[in-house]
Amino acid sequence: MGSLRVEPFPAGPGASLLPAALLLAAALLVGEAAAQSSAARTIYCCDVGGQPVCGDILPAACYGRAYRELSPSGIVRRTVPAPLTADEVTRRAELERQRRADEAERQRQQRLDQALLETYRSLDDLDRRRDRELRDVDRTLHELRAREAALLEHQRVLIQDATQTDKSDVAASLERDIRTLDSEIIAQRGVIEAKAKERAAVFERFAEDRRRYLELTAE
């Protein structure tokens, strides 16, 4: 039985080049991996007393401070602000509350504007409705004031009768009627005052609607 013989790697001009090429490739791969690892590394820096304090991990002196994340070459990758103080948290919450309130008001005004444009076909239509409502209020005011005038006239007659009678029982009865009329006149004047305020409110409402309608249609 024959023995197995291992032939040596053939010698030749290119035989010594192969191991060298493999070594070079390996060296290049190691160098590239090292470069990538270095490029991926992050340095953390903050300023303490005007001096930078840096480390591969965030230094303890940087806790609660603004800090920078840098590449090994010194390029700032990211800046992290310092944590907010209690006053700053309160201020931010207040600003957010105000922002939400402003947005709610903007949406409310938008709905009102849309309703206004849908309510009136034109400026003349708005003016006609205003005049109609004011006429209705004025008619009621006229009736209330006529009623007040009638009460005052009735009271004047009773006072005149009370001054001209000699009978005490008649005078006492007239006095009671006069006091009753006093109460009615006061109540009537209260109703007139309320109706006058209603008229002013109607006028003011239509004036504001007219102003806003002009703004919207001009836009």
Mean pLDDT of the chain: 85
pLDDT in tens, 129-169: 999 999 999 999 999 999 999 999 999 988 888 887 777 76
Reported confidence tier of residue 172, pLDDT bands at 50, 70, 90: confident
Chain centre to alpha carbon of residue 142: 46
At 103, the pLDDT band (50, 70, 90 cuts) reads very high
Question: Model-level pTM?
Answer: 0.55
CA-closest candidate to residue 199, choices 136, 144, 148, 147: 136
> Token match 């007219």: residue?
210
* Mean pLDDT across 171-186: 88
83: pLDDT strictly greater than 80: yes
What is the model's pLDDT at position 69?
Answer: 95
Which residues does 44 contact at the CB level (< 8 Å), separation at least 6?
Answer: 54, 55, 56, 57, 58, 59, 62, 67, 68, 69, 70
Q: What does the CA dihedral 24, 27, 28, 32 come to, rounded to 10 degrees?
A: 180
Higher pLDDT, 91 or 166: 91
Beta bridge partners of 174: none
Q: In what order do the strands lie in the sheet with 51-55?
A: 51-55, 43-48, 67-70, 76-80
Q: Is the pLDDT of residue 215 over 90?
A: yes
Please tell me which residue, 105 or 30, carries the higher pLDDT value.
105
In the block, which residue shows the tokens 């948290």?
89
Least confident of 10-24, 116-130, 169-183, 185-199: 10-24
Instruction: Kindly report, residue by residue over 52-69, the tens digit of the pLDDT.
Output: 999 999 999 999 899 999
d(CA 48, CA 51): 5
**What mean pLDDT is predicted for residues 199-206?**
97
- Domain spans, the chain: 40-83, 84-119, 122-218
Does the structure show a pLDDT above 50 at 44? yes
pLDDT exceeds 70 at position 16: no
Whether the predicted pLDDT of 90 surpasses 90? yes
Instruction: Note the pLDDT of residue 55.
Output: 94
- Given a cut of 80, whether residue 22 has pLDDT beyond it is no
pLDDT of residue 175: 85
Longest dimension (CA), the chain: 172
